[in-house]
Chains A and B, each alone.
Chain A
């Protein structure tokens, strides 16, 4: 221990920023009636700066991280209560997800520049609080701490969907709530059991503790329920399309970019290392669910008439590859799964931003309302094409590497699973190209589109970095693999040790 508590600082910086924003706003709240829009911009700018500072902090953590060393690093531990401690630490897996989080949050706030007009202060606070909780999930090395972050993060997410969402936001939030509640309660029970059995909530202790195979099955199911909802896996995926459709653009970005990854992270952090026998036992079932998710939701995506719903279903399909890779239990598959999570975090986020660009102008997500955008928005069309290709997994984009490696890994475990997943590669081309063609190509038929403007500066600043990363990780994925390599091998060795 000792040294600068960089992880604590990074985790709580957004929360501190949120307090600051709250204080400053209440201090100046006297003139709430006038200059609302102007003040809103200032608050948003403050939010962007705070989250950018958080990103800088995470980059600092990244800089001191030794990628060749397996196990947790930058560990900070403070006694809390009995077996529970405040313990933070990262490995390649968690730090890469932290970086994804801190990278996306400023983009989200910036993307809200013109689209959020009511209750801007609360909006910024919600996002900053959410960021703390999301980072906390990835850096926690204690079950209770993890649980608190994991669950608490849902509150700001509810607010974001419930207050700044579309007209059916209550239904969507309710659905979200119900699914997550059931998953969380089961996980809570399992956690209590684990802490009592192992006498500690410390991940490193739990990883070494061997649970009885019969018990593992139950623990695995309890944790798995929560992660399956988060990921989401078929058939507990139906909350996602509704949540996405109702959420504001930035909410969708966080949902697809970070929250879904908590499911994959959970499987890798808990299910494989702590319940290896149960994980092996459930492998065929997980493969089956992964393949169903890929084929089923890809076909459903094709039938959608709402742009966001289409991309939401496509997310479920892409997370199916993550499941496939994780449960292949080999280096190729797990590395592929981690990569796929990061890649999807970039590409799906970008696609939601892309939808947001035209939604802000037209206030509709109906595919049929568009068509011929290329004639008015050539730059937009180019970016959209890039992310479309990323989503269909074209080599040269990051989408390809994740899909390929998860399938290669899956093939080693079960050929049928890889073959089923590969069908998704065909279907993704069908629904994405159809979407692109209906919105972007063709002549402009809707007169409302006649004056539509191409991307503005803020949209450029939000989307261009994601485009650059899509290509960078497509051509040089080793940047990530070198970084996640040792934690992958460590997880797999714990998995193998258990069996």
Chain B
């Protein structure tokens, strides 16, 4: 297993090399690219080795405990709680904020959750760095791009290895910054600038909840470190909040919030989840994610698919003790997740921009993860997070390859027949599609990654419904319909892009938006012949490696994440209350539940094949007929319009009113009103060169005289 020095390397080195971007003028773009790519790839190799070694050690650990395997080898601290032993290892780097009870350190926390996340983050990030050598090859700002990518990687790692809420918040906002910078990477264009601000601000709305949640945690537990807080909840220890005389067990404690007495854990759970909704683009706070597609495609793959947007899911799983002991907060997680899964899938069906289809698909898949966590199947949520990282990064990078090959065309209606021009990209996209729709044979270990994780979620959710877990019934049905839609829009994408006639070869349609072409390709793009071409090897190698993950990550890690070895694997990093049996309950669900996902998936495939393969005109005719349902879907349920009309314009209106109030009311009554009274004297005085100096000096002197007089009188009185 990895020694501390290597763990520190994995986390900090990407941050250090990101700084090389600051001096690219002197060391050259290429040096920055080599440094960042080498460091992140090596960190990825180490993290993946760590994960594989850890999983490989599980079997041995079970057979022979003394055999130094699993976390035991180097995880020192153990916490006995509710029957599961939490094994984690904390490297404290240096103190950060120490004020009274408020103690936050810079630290690296190693437990199963962070091992999994580190592997995902550095693994995908390394491949995205590599891929960007090809994708960004003609961009004039390569050093800046690679520095941002490494900065993001560093921030994301800081987020997942935090041992306290404050470092987590640091990473949380830090990835937000990196995301903002990368969405707006092409900063001379309007659309990326708008999108980057929208992303940052929407995330800030979520962070509003997260920050308040952290404040509530500190208020109740007098600590911002995970271990004491979560232990207190697991063991239901008596806690003494700040402004309370009464000390109550953690799970029953109450807090007065806006004058209302509410259960503290419910409030904390809901507030923290609002943060997760922002970061993970859940219903109501999802509006930034589709627009974030204005960023370069490797960014979409890394940040807006595989890693950053899953931070919310990670947070809920990390804080499983909170959600295990709440009713409303956990219910909210399940409900929002289920609604998002379905909502985003409906919108994804009606988009024509290849990246936006995948973006809504991401949104929808994140919904699955959340409702799984909300009903108590945290392991399944994490498993889906893990497999999703591979196939979604694959789909995005595949889409990037298409866009690259199509000379920065993103409209699928202008594509078609690309399979013969880009066979390797086509193969990769097919693998990604089969993985995301979750194709596999029930009761066997035959299937792509999505099959294992998505079915684990749906079956656990049904088990939850059987156990009357709130919103589990709804989540199951929403999830099932969404699975059908997922299959439909995924195949629609494949057919529109890779099959049928090739319009680009016939006519050079220049009406499309060249927004990205200038920056990425320089001005010579207009002289290009527009025949699509296969991407270079440096882009295809990441696709190949991710394809392996999309195919085999599910079957390889199934036992560890959600099946026979899951207790040993998670080692207490995810907590389940004694009553929660949804994960194991999925083995007792009716047979039809096990086959249902496969059936709807095939259904979606058949309909997509019928409408977009055999009868290519149908989809277009539906779109053109302009039915209300299509309008609703293609306009994303009008969220942007509604938010613009209410929130944005409302805030602008208030700002204008307040500004006028400053001028008219406050100044009108205050200085300007007084001014008209003293106008004459003011005018006289303003003739004097330095304005009011003398006026003021007069007051001071007057004051001093008054003072003296009082003192003199007082001294005289004393005599």
Q: Which residues of A contact B (CB under 8 A)?
A: 81-84, 144, 147, 151-152, 154-155, 158-159, 162-163, 169-170, 173-175, 177-179, 181, 184-185, 188, 192, 196, 235-236, 238-239, 241, 296-297, 299-304, 330-332, 335-336, 372, 374-375, 382, 389, 394-396, 400-401, 404-405, 407-408, 411-413, 415-416, 418-419, 422-423, 425-427, 429-430, 433-434, 437, 440-443, 475-478, 481, 485
* B696:A181 contact, CB within 8 angstroms: yes
* B204:A437 contact, CB within 8 angstroms: no
* B696:A170 contact, CB within 8 angstroms: no
Give CA–CA (A453, B692) in the complex, Å.
38
* A429:B201 contact, CB within 8 angstroms: yes
* B98:A426 contact, CB within 8 angstroms: no
Choose the segment among B455-463, B556-564, B650-658 that binds chain A (4+ C-beta atoms closer than 8 Å).
Answer: B650-658
Contact flag A299-B201 (CB < 8 Å), given A174-B671, A481-B97? no
* B212:A418 contact, CB within 8 angstroms: yes
B9 at the interface (CB under 8 A from A): no
In the complex, what's the smallest C-beta–C-beta distance from B74 to chain A, in angstroms? Answer: 28
16 A-B residue pairings within 8 Å (CB atoms): A144-B707, A152-B700, A158-B696, A238-B670, A297-B658, A303-B659, A372-B188, A394-B173, A394-B174, A394-B177, A422-B211, A425-B204, A426-B208, A430-B201, A441-B193, A442-B190
* B711:A419 contact, CB within 8 angstroms: no
In the complex, what's the smallest C-beta–C-beta distance from A445 to chain B, in angstroms? Answer: 11
Give CA–CA (A102, B308) in the complex, Å.
43
Contact flag A175-B700 (CB < 8 Å), given A196-B714, A375-B188? no
Choose the segment among B61-69, B215-223, B443-451 that binds chain A (4+ C-beta atoms closer than 8 Å).
Answer: B215-223
* B693:A426 contact, CB within 8 angstroms: no
The contact of B102 among A159, A173, A408, A485, by CB within 8 Å, is A408
The contact of B187 among A152, A155, A394, A441, by CB within 8 Å, is A441
Give CA–CA (A400, B166) in the complex, Å.
11
Contact flag A158-B690 (CB < 8 Å), given A418-B212, A437-B193? yes
Taking CB atoms, residues of chain A closer than 8 Å to B691 are 158, 162, 169-170, 173-174
* A395:B169 contact, CB within 8 angstroms: yes
Taking CB atoms, residues of chain B closer than 8 Å to A429 are 200-201, 204
Contact flag A335-B99 (CB < 8 Å), given A396-B170, A433-B201? yes
B686 at the interface (CB under 8 A from A): yes
* B656:A175 contact, CB within 8 angstroms: no
B592 at the interface (CB under 8 A from A): no
Taking CB atoms, residues of chain A closer than 8 Å to B245 are none
Q: Given A170-B691, A238-B671, A407-B215, 5 other A-B contacts at CB below 8 A?
A: A151-B700, A175-B671, A300-B655, A382-B22, A440-B187
In the complex, what's the smallest C-beta–C-beta distance from A417 to chain B, in angstroms? Answer: 11
B662 at the interface (CB under 8 A from A): yes
* A481:B99 contact, CB within 8 angstroms: yes
B638 at the interface (CB under 8 A from A): no
* A425:B659 contact, CB within 8 angstroms: no
| Main DSSP-derived SS at the B contact region | helix
Give CA–CA (A311, B682) in the complex, Å.
29
In the complex, what's the smallest C-beta–C-beta distance from B661 to chain A, in angstroms? Answer: 8
* A408:B218 contact, CB within 8 angstroms: yes
Give CA–CA (A196, B718) in the complex, Å.
12
* A416:B193 contact, CB within 8 angstroms: no
Q: Which of A152, A336, A396, A475 has the most CB of B within 10 A?
A: A396
Give CA–CA (A300, B200) in the complex, Å.
20
The contact of B99 among A84, A332, A437, by CB within 8 Å, is A332
Give CA–CA (A235, B669) in the complex, Å.
11
Question: Would you list the 5 A-B pairs with minimal beta carbon distance, nearest first?
Answer: A299-B655, A395-B170, A411-B215, A303-B655, A331-B100
The contact of B692 among A158, A185, A188, A375, by CB within 8 Å, is A158
* B671:A423 contact, CB within 8 angstroms: no
In the complex, what's the smallest C-beta–C-beta distance from B111 to chain A, in angstroms? Answer: 23
B207 at the interface (CB under 8 A from A): yes
* B102:A332 contact, CB within 8 angstroms: yes
Give CA–CA (A411, B670) in the complex, Å.
33
The contact of A177 among B204, B208, B692, by CB within 8 Å, is B692
B205 at the interface (CB under 8 A from A): yes
* A159:B690 contact, CB within 8 angstroms: yes
B4 at the interface (CB under 8 A from A): no
B695 at the interface (CB under 8 A from A): yes
The contact of B656 among A147, A303, A426, A477, by CB within 8 Å, is A303
* B692:A174 contact, CB within 8 angstroms: yes
0 or 1 for each of B211-246: is its CB under 8 Å from A? (1 = yes): 110111011000000000000000000000011000
* A374:B97 contact, CB within 8 angstroms: no
Closest chain B residue, CB of each to CB of A401: B97
Taking CB atoms, residues of chain B closer than 8 Å to A81 are 711
B53 at the interface (CB under 8 A from A): no
In the complex, what's the smallest C-beta–C-beta distance from B397 to chain A, in angstroms? Answer: 27
* B652:A155 contact, CB within 8 angstroms: no
Give CA–CA (A309, B343) in the complex, Å.
43
- The number of residues on chain B lying at the interface, defined by a beta carbon within 8 Å of a beta carbon of chain A, is 76
Taking CB atoms, residues of chain A closer than 8 Å to B184 are 437, 441
Give CA–CA (A81, B708) in the complex, Å.
10
Give CA–CA (A382, B216) in the complex, Å.
35
Closest chain A residue, CB of each to CB of B95: A478
* A173:B651 contact, CB within 8 angstroms: no
* A299:B658 contact, CB within 8 angstroms: yes
In the complex, what's the smallest C-beta–C-beta distance from B170 to chain A, in angstroms? Answer: 4
| Residues of chain B in range 162-193 having any CB-CB distance to chain A below 8 Å | 166, 169-170, 173-174, 177, 180, 184, 187-188, 190, 193
* A419:B258 contact, CB within 8 angstroms: yes
B710 at the interface (CB under 8 A from A): yes
The contact of A408 among B196, B215, B259, B686, by CB within 8 Å, is B215
* B188:A426 contact, CB within 8 angstroms: no
B674 at the interface (CB under 8 A from A): yes
Give CA–CA (A299, B653) in the complex, Å.
9
In the complex, what's the smallest C-beta–C-beta distance from B364 to chain A, in angstroms? Answer: 27
* B696:A188 contact, CB within 8 angstroms: no
The contact of A415 among B180, B197, B258, B690, by CB within 8 Å, is B258
Taking CB atoms, residues of chain B closer than 8 Å to A430 are 197, 201, 651
* B651:A299 contact, CB within 8 angstroms: yes
Taking CB atoms, residues of chain B closer than 8 Å to A159 are 690, 693
Taking CB atoms, residues of chain A closer than 8 Å to B506 are none
Contact flag A177-B696 (CB < 8 Å), given A375-B188, A441-B188? yes
Contact flag A162-B201 (CB < 8 Å), given A144-B707, A411-B219? no
Give CA–CA (A485, B99) in the complex, Å.
8
0 or 1 for each of B44-79: is its CB under 8 Å from A? (1 = yes): 000000000000000000000000000000000000
Taking CB atoms, residues of chain B closer than 8 Å to A400 are 170, 173
Contact flag A412-B200 (CB < 8 Å), given A162-B693, A173-B691, A174-B675? no
Taking CB atoms, residues of chain A closer than 8 Å to B187 are 374, 440-442
Give CA–CA (A194, B352) in the complex, Å.
75
B642 at the interface (CB under 8 A from A): no
Taking CB atoms, residues of chain A closer than 8 Å to B658 are 296-297, 299-300
* B207:A425 contact, CB within 8 angstroms: yes
Contact flag A412-B695 (CB < 8 Å), given A336-B99, A425-B211, A478-B96? no
Give CA–CA (A482, B531) in the complex, Å.
65
Taking CB atoms, residues of chain A closer than 8 Å to B715 are 82
* B98:A389 contact, CB within 8 angstroms: no
* A405:B693 contact, CB within 8 angstroms: no
Give CA–CA (A387, B510) in the complex, Å.
41
In the complex, what's the smallest C-beta–C-beta distance from A190 to chain B, in angstroms? Answer: 13
Give CA–CA (A159, B95) in the complex, Å.
45
Give CA–CA (A372, B197) in the complex, Å.
16
* B690:A433 contact, CB within 8 angstroms: no
In the complex, what's the smallest C-beta–C-beta distance from A464 to chain B, in angstroms? Answer: 12
* B707:A192 contact, CB within 8 angstroms: yes
Give CA–CA (A33, B703) in the complex, Å.
40
* B99:A151 contact, CB within 8 angstroms: no
Closest chain B residue, CB of each to CB of A482: B98
Taking CB atoms, residues of chain B closer than 8 Å to A241 are 662
* A192:B710 contact, CB within 8 angstroms: yes
In the complex, what's the smallest C-beta–C-beta distance from B92 to chain A, in angstroms? Answer: 14
Taking CB atoms, residues of chain A closer than 8 Å to B180 are 433
